[in-house]
Amino acid sequence: MGRRPPAEPFHARVERSLRDTFLRVAVPAATRRFHLTRRHALAELGEPLRWRQLARAIRAHTIANLDRYLAQAADAVEARGGRVHWALDAAAAVEAVLSIARAAGVRRVVKSKSMVTEELELNRWLEAEGIEVVETDLGEYIIQLDGDSPSHIIAPAVHKTREQVRQLFSRLAGQELPDDAQALTDFARRRLREKFLSADMGISGANFVVAETGHVVLVTNEGNGRMVTSLPRVHVAVMGMERVVPTWEDLAVLLEVLPRSATGQKLSVYTSITGGGPAPAGEGDGPQEFHLVIVDNGRSRLLGTRYQEGLHCIRCGACLNACPVYREIGGHAYGGVYSGPIGAVITPLLEGFDGWEELPHASSLCGACHEACPVLIPLHDLLVDLRSDEADQERAGRWEVLAFRAYRWLCERPWAYRWAARAAAALQRPLEEAGWLRGGPGPLKAWTEGRDFPAVAARTFRDRWRDLAAGEGDGQ
Amino acid sequence: MSDARERFLARVRQALAGGAGPAPGYAAEAGAAVGRGSMPPRADHPGSDPAAWPARFAAELEAVGGSAERTAWEEAGPRAAAYAGRLGVRRVLAWDPAALPGPGGELLASVLAWLSGEGLEVRTWPAEAADAELGVVVAEAAIAASGTVMLSSGRGKGRSVSLLPDHLLVLVPAGALRPTLAEALADLAQRTRGGDIPQNVVLITGPSKSADIEQQLIQGVHGPRTVHALLVAPRGAGA
Amino acid sequence: MKVDLFVTCLCDLFYPDVGEAVVRVLRRLGCRVGFPPDQTCCGQPAFNSGFTEQARAVARRLIEAFSAGEEEGTPIVAPSGSCAAMVRQHFPRLFAGDPRWEERALRFAGRVTELSEFIVGRLGVDDLGGRFGAGLEAVAAYHRSCHMSRGLGVVEEPLRLLRSIRGLEVVDLPDAEDCCGFGGTFAVKMPAISTAMADRKLDAVAASGAALLVGSDLGCLMHLGGRLRRLGRPVQVMHTAQVFDRALGGGG
């Protein structure tokens, strides 16, 4: 079990995204807006860097003591009458949820947005048991109806047009709905309200789990997270094991940076601090059963390595919004559950390099991701480290290995470097046109697909230096 | 089950102990010595004078699409009725005033009495929630810096009341305002550390919203479409 | 002041005119310029591609090439924010824990500055306008390259120098902090994405109304200039050193 890389190769996915004219407008518009509001919202705090340093310190401390805080959270949940399920991998996590559903006789599940359940492909497994699963975040609902997958951590349906949504909803309604976001949203509200009120089980993710009390913290804007955790008789929260936060004081800091970094809000509309245990009898609503599923699924492979900081991520999406590569290709081209810079880092780490070799290279290393990250993960440095791991594992292409061997040899020998420059200047002559090349072999071909390339100078700078030095008499 | 727990935690423990951890030299600014627990001063802090907090709270709530007004205790009922009147709603679902000890319960009782007197149909929790049009609750805390109200669940304090009706009226008693989230969560921490652990606490900042369809902002996706807060002065203190 | 020029391989091989401009600018500002002849590349292409051992070998060669000035700590000036960032940010990491090289790498990193950073920060010059009265009549947009702005933190220095030049109108580039899509080997590994990013940057240049695009990194300029030429857009591309050189009455 576990997800496989898409069958379609990376470059084909990229080409498809680049041809998607809606995507090329919608994604930059949305990410630009998130990016600017994020910056504004953090600036309002006064000293954004200090807040980010503090948030990072909290995450670093938590992950460095993860075993302790997970044990504390689990103890708290059990003391409050909740149940904890430990899942080393996706199969164990799915089995835990399925057995809870079987025991409770669940027929219908409502879900709020959860990236970790995407990792588990939980919906597929629940449906195979004959259980109806309904995604209730508006974006996720749209995605689910279309058999699609989310393309952004916080704006899952950013790649869908209103017309696509209108058609999907009209099919469901059995009548043509108007081309109006308000009317379409109202339709989803009515439709999903019935589902909330009749579901047996709610499944949520967890933005944080407070170790002190076992409370699950969910940050949402629509209110579906509240519905899912308040109305059905069973609440199952599925958490990636890194989502724990030691104390309320730590939570207070992380909640100042998460919504600001995600959507530019001071706080999201709903911050639910819920569960940990079942609702006490006599409250009239709230779940009668609470389960916490703690998922490793490859995460422990990052612990103790230089990639440990990858687990500091609080899933705000700021790196996606800042990334100029994401802006061009959107989330689907990355092919995994997590896209953008954080996806390029953690996907190969969680899943292994096979089928994901290109991801660490899908970055110009511009550093915008690190600049945006609320917990200061050095994403661009980690991408270089991953490239280094790939080279060490002999995953680089043959021409590249040879090229860098030659590069080293030449750069270590200035006489050879000089000779090679002259040779290149001579060899390029048939291709040259007024100082530029418009084609060529190997990497030059890739470059000149869309750009002209400057010819190597007939006289390099080092060849000119003697004259320059003589001119002023101050050379070496 | 404890077996699974031990295996899981042992793997985490071993991985943490066995490796070098994050490499040095990465991201210089991240290395600055910032200790947990030392919260930086914030430029947008509403200040230490509680007199300034209601206006800030109202401005923040309005900025996110909600509304707020300050009122004398004695005027809270008429103001609530006026809000219901503007919305044109008839069916009210409220928390049970008997479940709220102290001034919050008295305030809620007086507001509900007024609404009933105005001819609205008022039910108290637990009761059928699905067809209610207006929910009425009492904030345990309210945060000036973000226009947020904090509600916690309990007997007579159903989660559904602030969630299912199309409109939400929140009574914020005098003394419930806190400057920032940190103080509100400090109150909660004190409470849970004292052994009083609510199953559900929610921080609500304005009406439900989404921008999932072509980034167009829509209010009222699953939760209330409108949120109105009454900042109520102490009884007999005027507005 | 005595300075050593680290001309960088791109400049040496493809843009020797820029190298000459750097030399003239530094001389006009009173520097004696040396060119250690054994220098080649900083190792960045290999480093960024994950060929760490090759990068280390090339980096060692560069440090050795500049060893003559090591004692006195002669400043090293490079007409590239990216290469300077490679040395300052990554050399210490490349040699961390290496008893023979760590110390030398740190000392070397301490000597390396980018051209405009050097002019403003070390020479204390932030006005090129009236010095020789040459000036340059143009509307220019400045591309702040990522490694220079985010890696070195150098953003204001080149802008201040450009704005001091008589006749040169420096307009704001929309989304100035966005990457142009060069990214070293990224430009040939992911050419389609790289080119799409260039187009977005060049659309911003067009929107700014600039007829001249100025930058401090030849990698970015090679990429943007190559795309401009392919598109047939009449925007002129210059390195900051060439603009400074013109302002100071140099040969360009």
pLDDT tens digits along C53-75: 999 999 999 999 999 999 999 99
Instruction: Mark whether C112 and C194 lie in a shared domain.
Output: no
Q: Which chains, if any, share at least 3 CB pairs under 8 A with chain B? A: A, C
HSE value, Cβ hemisphere, 13 Å, CA-based, for A170? 13
pLDDT band of B238, cuts 50, 70, 90: confident
pLDDT tens digits along C70-113: 999 999 999 999 999 999 999 999 999 999 999 999 999 999 99
Tell me which residues of chain B, numbers 43 to 72, contact chain A at a CB-CB cutoff of 8 Å.
Answer: 43-44, 60, 64
Please state, in angstroms and rounded to a whole number, the distance separating the CA atoms of residues B225 and A137. Answer: 16
Instruction: Mark whether C100 and C169 lie in a shared domain.
Output: no
Instruction: Mark whether C154 and C92 lie in a shared domain.
Output: no
Instruction: Mark whether C154 and C211 lie in a shared domain.
Output: yes
Residue with tokens 């309320």: A248
Q: Cβ of A451 under 8 Å from any chain C Cβ?
A: yes
HSE value, Cβ hemisphere, 13 Å, CA-based, for B154? 15
8 Å CB contact of B23 and C92: no
pLDDT tens digits along B14-70: 999 987 666 655 655 554 555 676 788 899 999 999 999 999 999 999 999 999 999
| Stretch among A212-216, B101-105, C157-161 having the lowest mean pLDDT | B101-105
Q: Which two tokens stand for residue A158?
A: 């950013």
Q: Per the domain annotation, does C88 fall within a domain?
A: yes
Tell me which residues of chain B, numbers 14 to 33, contact chain C at a CB-CB cutoff of 8 Å.
Answer: 23-26
pLDDT at C201 over 70: yes
Measure CA of the first residue to CA of the last residue in chain A; give whole Å: 66
Looking at CA atoms only, how far is residue C163 from chain A in angstroms? 25
Q: Per the domain annotation, does C128 fall within a domain?
A: no
Residue of A nearest to B220 (CA): A222
Query: What ipTM goes with this model?
Result: 0.96
Indicate which of B214, B215, B217, B225 best probes the interface with A, i.e. most A CBs within 10 Å of its own CB: B214
Nearest by CB to A381, which of B16, B26, B35?
B26
The whole-number pLDDT of residue C135 equals 62
Please state, in angstroms and rounded to a whole number, the distance separating the CA atoms of residues A371 and A280. Answer: 45
Please state, in angstroms and rounded to a whole number, the distance separating the CA atoms of residues B232 and A97. Answer: 46
Q: Per the domain annotation, does C112 fall within a domain?
A: yes
pLDDT tens digits along A241-276: 999 999 999 999 999 999 999 999 999 999 999 999
Instruction: Mark whether C117 and C142 lie in a shared domain.
Output: no
pTM of the model: 0.95
| CATH code where residue C149 lies | 3.40.50
Phi-psi category of B117—alpha, beta or left, where left has phi over 0 and alpha has psi -120 to 50?
Answer: alpha
Contacts of A327 in chain C (CB under 8 A): 200
Asked which of C121, C150, C181 is the last residue of a domain, the reply is C121
**Phi and psi dihedrals of B10, rounded to 5?**
-65, -40
3-state SS record for chain A: CCCCCCCCCHHHHHHHHHHCHHHHHHHHHHHHHHHHHHHHHHHHCCCHHHHHHHHHHHHHHHHHCHHHHHHHHHHHHHHCCCEEEEECCHHHHHHHHHHHHHHCCCCEEEECCCHHHHHHCHHHHHHHCCCEEEECCHHHHHHHHCCCCCCCCCCCCCCCCHHHHHHHHHHHHCCCCCCCHHHHHHHHHHHHHHHHHHCCEEEECCCEEECCCCCEEEEECCCHHHHHHHCCCEEEEEEEHHHEECCHHHHHHHHHHHHHHHHCCCCCCEEEEECCCCCCCCCCCCCCEEEEEEECCCHHHCCCCCCHHHHHCCCCCHHHHHCHHHHHHCCHHHCCCCCHHHHHHHHHHHHCCCCCCCHHHCCCCCCHHHHHCCCCCCHHHHHHHHHHHHHHCCCCCHHHHHHHHHHHHHHCCHHHHHHHHHHHHHHCHHHEECCEECCCCCHHHHHHCCCCEECCCCCCHHHHHHHHHHHHCCCC
Q: Cβ of B194 under 8 Å from any chain A Cβ?
A: no
Contacts of B24 in chain C (CB under 8 A): 96
Q: Cβ of A454 under 8 Å from any chain C Cβ?
A: yes
Contacts of B26 in chain C (CB under 8 A): 93
8 Å CB contact of C192 and A15: yes
Q: Per the domain annotation, does C133 fall within a domain?
A: no
8 Å CB contact of C186 and A412: no
pLDDT at C242 over 60: yes
8 Å CB contact of B222 and A227: yes
The whole-number pLDDT of residue B130 equals 87
Handedness of CA A147, A150, A156, A159 (dihedral sign): negative
Q: Per the domain annotation, does C29 fall within a domain?
A: yes
Instruction: Mark whether C150 and C204 lie in a shared domain.
Output: yes
Q: Per the domain annotation, does C186 fall within a domain?
A: yes
Indicate which of C89, C90, C150 best probes the interface with B, i.e. most B CBs within 10 Å of its own CB: C89
Q: Which two tokens stand for residue C61?
A: 């060669």
Contacts of B95 in chain A (CB under 8 A): none
**Would you say A233 and A287 are in contact if contact means Cβ atoms under 8 Å apart?**
yes
Q: Which chains, if any, share at least 3 CB pairs under 8 A with chain A? A: B, C
Residue of A nearest to C11 (CA): A461
Q: Cβ of C98 under 8 Å from any chain B Cβ?
A: no
Average pLDDT over residues B195-219: 96
Nearest by CB to A328, which of C188, C197, C227?
C197
pLDDT at C15 over 70: yes
Domains of chain A: 10-301 (3.40.50.10420), 398-472 (no CATH)
pLDDT tens digits along A50-88: 999 999 999 999 999 999 999 999 999 999 999 999 999
The full set of domain ranges for chain B reads 49-209+218-232
Looking at every residue in chain C, the average pLDDT score rounds to 95
Q: Cβ of C68 under 8 Å from any chain B Cβ?
A: no
Average pLDDT over residues B87-111: 96
Q: Cβ of C153 under 8 Å from any chain B Cβ?
A: no
Backbone Cα Rg of chain C:
18
pLDDT at C129 over 90: no
Q: What is the total count of domains within chain C?
A: 2
pLDDT band of C137, cuts 50, 70, 90: confident
The whole-number pLDDT of residue B1 equals 52
How far CA A455 is from CA of A463, C13, C40, in Å, comes to: 16, 9, 18
Instruction: Mark whether C110 and C166 lie in a shared domain.
Output: no
8 Å CB contact of A387 and C58: no
The whole-number pLDDT of residue A476 equals 38
Instruction: Mark whether C22 and C79 lie in a shared domain.
Output: yes
8 Å CB contact of C40 and A384: no
Nearest by CB to B40, which of A54, A155, A156?
A54
pLDDT tens digits along B154-178: 999 999 999 999 999 999 998 999 9
Contacts of B160 in chain A (CB under 8 A): 230-231, 284-285
| Stretch among A237-246, B97-106, C14-23, C46-55 having the lowest mean pLDDT | B97-106
Instruction: Mark whether C34 and C76 lie in a shared domain.
Output: yes
Instruction: Mark whether C114 and C222 lie in a shared domain.
Output: no
Domain, as residue range, for C97: 2-121
Looking at CA atoms only, how far is residue C73 from chain B in angstroms? 23
Contacts of B47 in chain A (CB under 8 A): none
Q: Return the CATH architecture of domain B49-209+218-232.
A: 3-Layer(aba) Sandwich (3.40)
Contacts of C235 in chain A (CB under 8 A): none
Tell me which residues of chain B, numbers 91 to 150, contact chain A at a CB-CB cutoff of 8 Å.
Answer: 125-126, 129-130, 143, 145-146, 148
